[in-house]
Chains A and B, each alone.
Chain A
């Protein structure tokens, strides 16, 4: 089946630094990837939709200058949290749109990245 990886799985950083999270589709090409954020005991909130070769589409309330998304290839999308602050601490999950147009398996989720900003 389609596999999506994320790196790193866990990161701790100081306030004010930038953190880059990678999302890779390992055995298929993903023209569309999605970035979600999940706070403790909350649901997944869509942050942005990343399309290969074009600018990401951000959801309302998500600062595009703070959360930089790059989808330079069909197998890699990156999310950079710039000038991170403690309130950015969260579980970040990416998903990739599957290669086969079966609607019930449209998205394959990565294992997530837990970010802690001190």
Chain B
């Protein structure tokens, strides 16, 4: 099975930087994903890590340490529209590409 933990809620200020952590325990690992989900909408893909290290994509970066079962999503230059839920998801080795999602971190960006 897979256990995925991330903080329930976070608040940050517009223009600031915020880091959302995710820890996981899995019997097999074949990639970690971050998705953004606005209320009532489907998740949208943000990032993917399968090797250790940092992946940067514009204002968003994602880091992975497989030995520690740890990832974080870094959001820079926060904007009000970044207020959303951020989901950490792990793909197991034998899951057939299905994803196991964490409960999500609700981020509130304030003026």
Query: Which A residues form the contact surface with B (CB < 8 A)?
Result: 32, 34, 36, 42-46, 49, 57, 91, 93, 97, 103-107, 109-112, 114
Total residues of chain B contacting the partner, CB 8 A: 23
Does B98 lie within 8 Å of A34, measured CB to CB? yes
Q: State the CA gap A100–B90 with chains docked (Å).
A: 20
User: Which residues of the other chain, A, contact B87 by a CB distance below 8 angstroms?
Assistant: 43-44
A42-B103, A43-B103, A46-B98 in contact; A109/B42 too (CB < 8 A)? Answer: yes
Nearest chain-A residue to B43 (Cβ)? A109
- With A34-B98, A97-B97 already in contact, 12 other A-B pairs whose C-beta atoms are closer than 8 Å: A34-B99, A42-B103, A46-B99, A57-B96, A103-B48, A103-B50, A104-B31, A104-B45, A104-B47, A109-B44, A110-B42, A111-B42
Does B50 lie within 8 Å of A112, measured CB to CB? no
- Residue B58 lies at the interface, judged by CB distance under 8 Å to chain A: no
Q: State the CA gap A97–B45 with chains docked (Å).
A: 13
Q: State the CA gap A49–B98 with chains docked (Å).
A: 7
